[in-house]
Structure 1
Amino acid sequence: MLTMTTSDLFNSPPERVGLPEREIISVSQLNRRAKQLLETHLPLLWVEGELSNVSVPSSGHWYFTLKDSDAQVRCAMFRNRNMMVKFRPQQGQHVLVRARVSLYEGRGDYQIIAEHMEEAGAGALQRAFDELKTKLAHEGLFDPQYKKNVPLLPKHIAVITSPTGAAIRDIINVLERRFPSIPVTVIPVAVQGKEAAPQIVKAISLANRAGLFDVVILGRGGGSLEDLWPFNEEIVARAIFASDLPIVSAVGHEVDFTIADFVADLRAPTPSAAAELITPDGEDWLDKFIGFEVLLEEAMQRSLNHWQQKLQWLRSRLRHPKDKLEQQAQRCDTLEIRLKNAIQKALTHSQNRLNTLVLRQKAQHPQTRLLQLTHRFQLARQNLIKAQSQIFIQKRQGFNEAVRMLNTLSPLKTLERGYSLTTLAESQTPITSSQQLKPGDKVKTQIAKGEFVAVVESINQ
């Protein structure tokens, strides 16, 4: 039992008078509880919107706002997650985000944390289209050197398309109008949706394995980029490139382009145009056949006239066998005479050649050759002796002339004419000037017969 006095009533806090005790929490605790509540009760969500206020600080995290026409929400995508995104977020870009709802405790701001991001709508498809186009072009799948020729007159056409679409009706109508005798086989496939691409790949493989067709039309009617997307799949492009049969791509309208158009051996703007491109005009061919028929008749008539003329000419040349035999007998006699003459001429020529060889052999007999060489030796010996005698006389004359000239130039001859050679007695230096001497020097003088030594008494300069 609770008892209270009047003083206790007036001195007690007012909130405790008959009321439960209050729980007071801080702002941080409030934000933390709100964050836990949001993250616990809201699972991962897919959110679509437009990017704005995109910020990429040095930490590598992405911060942006995701908005639509009526609202916006702050978003964050941490580095470990945005590294797996294949594009860079841009202002105004339309994206699809898988995120969890959270709250930033520091500001109390409600936000979402993105785990995955991809481009939404046609933008993503167009980017994927461009990337695959660039990749396949780099690998050479669009190279004209790999394009196969479409036959001028197909024997059997395979059409890979939807059996209920407008494209197959257009193709069949054109084929029936232009060349109805060409057989056509429809290989039904889905041309839209996820199951379309694998079915198209199987159909191309089936057409190649069948061994019936020589050209394939792959097509469908027009549509959006998403509708035509199976024809932009990489598996379809590689199946077209690997096909042994030429493939004509006829997807969409004239303004529509798909990866299949670039890989295919021939691109038609529409399914109807594909049927026209691969088939000739039957009426034109019929006109050509009529023209060929006329030309053939004229050629046959000319040939028949030619052979008739040749027959008449051969008939005019035809002679009785007896005449032919007589002519051949005369020819044999003529040939016999020519043969005898040729044999006699050959014998005469051989006899003359034999006589010439006998004469040449006699000339080359060893005894005859020995006599010739002996005569040449005697003649050479006489010429050698004569040449030696002439050379000896010439050399003796030259020797005598040299001796005469040597005697003429000899210093001894000069001394015999009264001249002398004077030198210093000690150094044997020839004296050519009086300046080399001084009184009292001994000089040696050589004369023609002997020599003497003298002393210089005086010098006259």
Structure 2
Amino acid sequence: MTTSSYLTVKALTKYIKRKFDADPHLREVYVKGELSNVKIHSSGHIYFTLKDDAARITAAMFRTQASKLKFKPEEGMQVYIRGEVNVYESSGIYQLYVQTMEPDGVGGLFVAFNQLKERLQKEGFFNPNFKQPIPKFPNTVGVLTATTGAAIRDICTTINRRYPLAEIVIYPTVVQGENAAPNIVKNIQLANNQQLCDVLIVGRGGGSIEDLWAFNEEIVAQAIFESRIPIISAVGHETDTTIADFVADLRAPTPTAAAELAVPNQHELIQRIISNKSRLQQMTSALVQFERSRLKKLQNAYPLATPERLYRPFIEKIVQLDMQLGRASQMYLMKKYNALQKLDSTIKSHSPKNEIQYNYKQINHMTDLLTRSVLSLLQKKKDQYGANVRTLEALNPLSIMTRGYSVTYKEQQVVKSVTQLSKDEEIDIHFHDGKVQAKIIEIHEGGEK
């Protein structure tokens, strides 16, 4: 056999793949088994192994098909799969390409419901501490539901019958189908942004689990949990339960029950007001009667019948204290008067008149001495001042200049010698009454003429 008779790996794999492609039984197969080595890729693709007691096969479910799953595939889960068997050329192995997947024993929606419920419960979405109280007397009630059907009619009729004071704001909402969940989220956020409502009713009438599935979506649960307005869920009938019921601040078994929980009953309020009014009147009447009885007893009491007996001891006490104050004041004044008399006698006994006259003479004598000393000092300073003035006048260059002297400047510097000058230089000559500008014509040194 020549070497040309040998196939390449690629050629052999392509041949096998064509065999798989040509087999109509492999284009759509229905297989059940246990999930193993489940890997959910960030791209959305799901890779796993499907096995039973005797064999196993690798499988892949691409993002387009995987996005339609209502539940999350998990390790050990028994499933029913519809798909295609083909060859993956790069590795040369055959594998199952999954189109649909359903859990064994229970529906996929039920599994997805339980998975989401368990996860949200762990994250605290159902925690009672996060639930807001429903206002007792709301001014405005918002209703998020379809504008057709019995739910909207039952809610509005019940609110208008029970509490006509409340206004109703309707947010037309898609509550079934692929667009239902995003539309529910959009209207919950719109109601929160507008802040028109005191409470929101979110729900719809009954239906199958597929019909109610929008209220089991995680984005709806997130929107209800984040709502600043209290939300009452009203999905389906009493036996229907959705994720929205667990997250909402209050769950109502039906839309009609939600309306009853959202507003009070006006007839009950009127009866309560009438009952409270009657009780208040009875209590007021009894209290007035009781206080009148007390007042009558007090008026007939002995102290009030003879009130002067109450304050007579105090009047006597005041009179007694007034007398004590008068005596104490007289004694104090007498004591101070005696002390003053004693002090006056002491001053007179010392006879300070001669001492005062002596001191007066001493003061006059000292005053004369001080006056003469000051006059002598002033005269001395005056004579010294005159001498200083005469000295200054003698040294004053201006006084010398009045006798015919002058001062010569060259460039604002005093000229003290002819050696500082040159021929044709200009100089300034200052006299006592002004100055002149001159020019050097000729220089004679050493006193020569």
TM-score, structure 2 normalization: 0.52
Q: Higher mean Cα deviation, 146-155 or 338-347?
A: 338-347
**Matched residue, 1:209:** 193
Amino acid at match of 1:286: I
Cα pair distance change 1:187/1:343, threshold 3 Å:
farther
- C-alpha deviation, 1:87, in angstroms: 2.5
Equivalent position amino acid for 2:240 in 1: D
Describe the superposition over 1:376-430 as per-residue Cα deviations: whole angstroms up to 9, x where unpaired: xxxxxxxxxxxxxxxxxxxxxxxxxxxxxxxxxxxxxxxxxxxxxxxxxxxxxxx
- Provide the C-alpha distance between the structure 2 equivalents of 1:345 and 1:243, rounded to a whole number of angstroms: 84
| Aligned partners of 1:221 and 1:251 also within 8 Å | yes
Note closer, same or farther for the CA distance 1:89–1:96 as it changes in structure 2 (3 Å cut): farther
Distance 1:298 1:63 in 2: 80
What is the rounded CA distance, in whole Å, between the counterparts of 1:235 and 1:339 in structure 2?
91
- Map Cα deviations across residues 272-301 of structure 1 (whole Å, 9 max, x no partner): 121222332222222222223334555666
Name the amino acid aligned to 1:196. Answer: A
In structure 1, the residue matched to 2:324 is 341
Native 8 Å contact 1:155 1:214 kept in 2:
yes
Structure whose CA Rg is larger: 1
Alignment of 1:280-295 (within 5 A): 280-295=264-279
**Number of the residue aligned with 2:96:** 114
Alignment of 1:212-231 (within 5 A): 212-231=196-215
Change (3 A) 1:297 1:32: closer
Runs (5+) with no aligned partner, structure 1 = 1-25, 66-73, 105-110, 317-327, 350-461
1:252 CA displacement: 1.3
8 A contact 2:146–2:173 mirrored in 1: yes
- Rounded to whole Å, the distance in 1 between the matches of 2:126 and 2:200 is 18
**Equivalent position of 1:414 in the other structure:** none
Aligned residues of 2:184 and 2:220 also touching (Cα < 8 A):
yes
Cα deviation digits, residues 51-85 of structure 1 (max 9, x gap):
15x6979xx984569xxxxxxxx99425899xx98
Whether the 8 Å CA contact 2:35–2:74 is kept in 1: the answer is: no
Aligned residue among 239, 243, 260 for 1:276? 260
1:86 matched to which residue of 2? Answer: 73
The amino acid across from 1:113 in the alignment is Q
- How far apart, CA to CA, are the structure 1 residues paired with 2:98 and 2:329? 111
Quick check: 1:50–1:95 contact (8 Å CA) kept in 2?
yes
- The separation in 1 between residues aligned to 2:35 and 2:274, in whole angstroms, is 77
Q: How do 1:209-358 residues align onto structure 2 when only pairs under 5 Å count? A: 209-298=193-282, 335=318, 337-341=320-324
Superposed CA RMSD: 5.0
1:151 maps onto 2:152 in alignment: no
Q: Is the 8 A contact 1:51 1:94 kept in 2?
A: yes
Task: Rate the CA distance shift 1:80–1:152 in 2: closer, same or farther, 3 A.
Answer: closer
Structure 2 distance, partners of 1:202, 1:61, is 36
How has the CA–CA distance of structure 1 residues 37 and 248 changed in structure 2, closer, same or farther, with 3 Å as cutoff? same
- Which runs of 5 or more residues in structure 2 are unaligned? 1-6, 38-46, 67-71, 301-310, 333-449
Query: Which residue, 147, 153, 174 being the options, matches 1:169?
Result: 153
1:36 aligns with 2:18: yes
Q: Secondary structure at the match of 2:118?
A: helix
Query: Are the aligned partners of 1:248 and 1:268 in contact in 2 as well (CA < 8 Å)?
Result: yes
1:160 aligned residue: 144
In structure 2, do the counterparts of structure 1 residues 233 and 78 end up closer, same or farther at CA, with 3 Å as the change threshold? closer
Q: Is 2:76 the counterpart of 1:95?
A: no
Alignment partner of 2:162 out of 165, 178, 200: 178
Counterpart contact for 1:75–1:114, Cα < 8 Å:
no
Pairwise CA distance, 1:89: 6.3
Aligned partner of 1:142 in structure 2 is 126
TM-aligned CA distance change 1:155 to 1:103, over 3 Å: closer
Q: Given that residues 60 and 98 in structure 2 are in contact (C-alpha distance below 8 angstroms), is that contact kept between their aligned partners in structure 1?
A: no
Q: CA deviation at 1:304?
A: 7.6
SS at match of 1:160: strand
Contact 2:201 2:232 in 1 (8 A): yes
Distance 1:315 1:230 in 2: 77
Distance (whole Å) between structure 2 residues aligned to residue 211 and residue 173 of structure 1: 23
Distance 2:152 2:319 in 1: 87
Distance 1:112 1:142 in 2: 46
**1:212 CA drift (Å):** 2.5
Contact 2:192–2:229 (Cα < 8 Å) also in 1: yes
Q: Quick one: which of 194, 203, 221 aligns to 2:178?
A: 194
- Residue 75 of structure 1 contacts residue 112 of structure 1 at CA under 8 Å; is this kept in 2? no
Q: Find the aligned partners of 1:61 and 1:271 in 2 and give their Cα distance.
A: 43
Distance 1:127 1:347 in 2: 109
Cα separation, 2, equivalents of 1:346 and 1:234? 96
Q: What's the % identity of the aligned pairs? A: 36
Give the whole-Å Cα distance in 1 for the aligned partners of 2:19 and 2:86.
Answer: 10
Return the match for 2:58 from 77, 82, 100. 77
- The one-letter code of the counterpart of 1:335 is I
Q: Could you tell me how far 1:263 is from its partner in structure 2?
A: 0.9
- SS of 1:120's equivalent in the other structure is strand
Task: Find the residue that maps to 2:107 and give its secondary structure.
Answer: helix
Residue 128 of structure 1 corresponds to 112
Give 1:169's aligned amino acid: R
Alpha-carbon separation, structure 2, partners of 1:210 and 1:125: 34
Contact 2:117 2:243 in 1 (8 A): yes
